[in-house]
Chains A and B, each alone.
Chain A
Amino acid sequence: MLAIVATSCARRVPRSHEVVIRNLAFEPAVLTVAQGDTVVWRNTDFVPHTATAREGTWDSKTIAASGEWRVVARAPGRHAYYCVFHPNMTGEIDVR
């Protein structure tokens, strides 16, 4: 049903998706979005974090405590990313 609607629309309306940074983790760890959608990272921790794509596609630089950063997902594919300050924090944005 959704596929029919999607293909019949001349242009899909981009959506916004949220990744919550909570307790030193990205939630959700893997997020699937469509090209042209926006991903917003919202930092609910006390400490600053980053969302840094491993291939260098995008880099939030420092996202302060209570801060947020957003990027428009253009390049298709699976983009692994991590937090530069806490390298064990990892996530993935899958752009379809």
Chain B
Amino acid sequence: MSPLVRLTRTVAPALLGFGTLLAGACAKTDKSTTDTATGMPTAMAADTAKPAAAAATTLNDAQIAHVAVTANSIDSAAGEMAKQKGSSQAVKAFARTMITDHSAVNKQAVALAKKLNVTPEDNDVSRQLQSGAEQSRKTLQGLSGAAFDKAYIDHEVEYHQAVLDALDKTLIPGAQNAELKALLEKARLAFAAHLERAKSIQGTLAQ
């Protein structure tokens, strides 16, 4: 099987599933079983079968860079909202970390793209991320106080989990350029720390 075909078969469903997962992040999702092949919830896998067949995209480095920048920008923006609307100190502090960390990683990503003479290229996955983010923003916009805090942190746990899955299953393995791969791997460490922190705040909010 040519590398291109193999990439299409694995990358597209996983990433479109990722986008769909994000779109549903603030909706009530069932804790259903996961598809062991893609790591995506099976409830989602059925939904992604059609989009995957219809738009089987492969992601080149320019597109991977665009996905990375988009994913960072989304969480930075969510952090800005939580910095204003967050009620507990822990949530506000977490929001500040999201802003500084995701902006910092983006600064590196943009600098690397410039250095490599690569223009981040818009693609279906980035578009799905953006539309998912827009849905989340609308939901969070309507909340305040403890309800906002809980919804924001729940969203951050799901979002960071989804980003880590995408990094592990598709973005890092798919990156051709060694420096891009290294940047994604370094970013992964920060995102894993974010997830850990979000989960521990989630635990305290649940009490």
Inter-chain CA distance A23–B191, complex, in Å, is 11
Prevailing SS type, chain A contact patch: loop
B interface list, Cβ under 8 A from A: 93, 96-97, 100-101, 104-105, 107-108, 183, 186-187, 189-190, 193, 196-197
Structural contact, A86 and B193, CB atoms closer than 8 A = yes
B100, B107, B196 — most chain A CB neighbours (10 Å): B100
Structural contact, A88 and B186, CB atoms closer than 8 A = no
User: Is A45's CB within 8 Å of the partner chain B?
Assistant: yes
Q: State which of B104, B108, B183, B197 has its C-beta within 8 Å of the C-beta of A88.
A: B197
The 9 closest A-B pairs by CB, nearest first: A85-B97, A47-B101, A47-B104, A46-B108, A24-B193, A86-B193, A46-B104, A23-B189, A47-B190
Inter-chain CA distance A24–B185, complex, in Å, is 13
| Given A45-B186, A46-B187, A47-B100, CB of A88 within 8 Å of CB of B196 | yes
Q: State which of A24, A62, A85, A87 has its C-beta within 8 Å of the C-beta of B189.
A: A24
Prevailing SS type, chain B contact patch: helix
Which residue of chain A has its CB nearest to the CB of B190? Answer: A47
CB distance from A35 to the nearest CB of B (A): 32
Structural contact, A85 and B104, CB atoms closer than 8 A = no
A interface list, Cβ under 8 A from B: 23-24, 45-48, 62, 65, 84-89
Instruction: Note all chain A residues with C-beta closer than 8 A to B107.
Output: 46
Structural contact, B97 and A46, CB atoms closer than 8 A = no
Structural contact, A86 and B93, CB atoms closer than 8 A = no
| Given A86-B197, A87-B197, A88-B196, CB of A46 within 8 Å of CB of B93 | no
Which residue of chain B has its CB nearest to the CB of A85? Answer: B97
Structural contact, A84 and B196, CB atoms closer than 8 A = no
List 13 other contacts, CB 8 Å, given A24-B189, A46-B190, A88-B193. A23-B189, A24-B190, A45-B190, A46-B104, A46-B108, A47-B104, A47-B105, A47-B190, A65-B104, A85-B97, A86-B197, A88-B197, A89-B193
CB distance from A22 to the nearest CB of B (A): 10
Inter-chain CA distance A47–B108, complex, in Å, is 10
Instruction: Note all chain B residues with C-beta closer than 8 A to A48.
Output: 100-101, 104
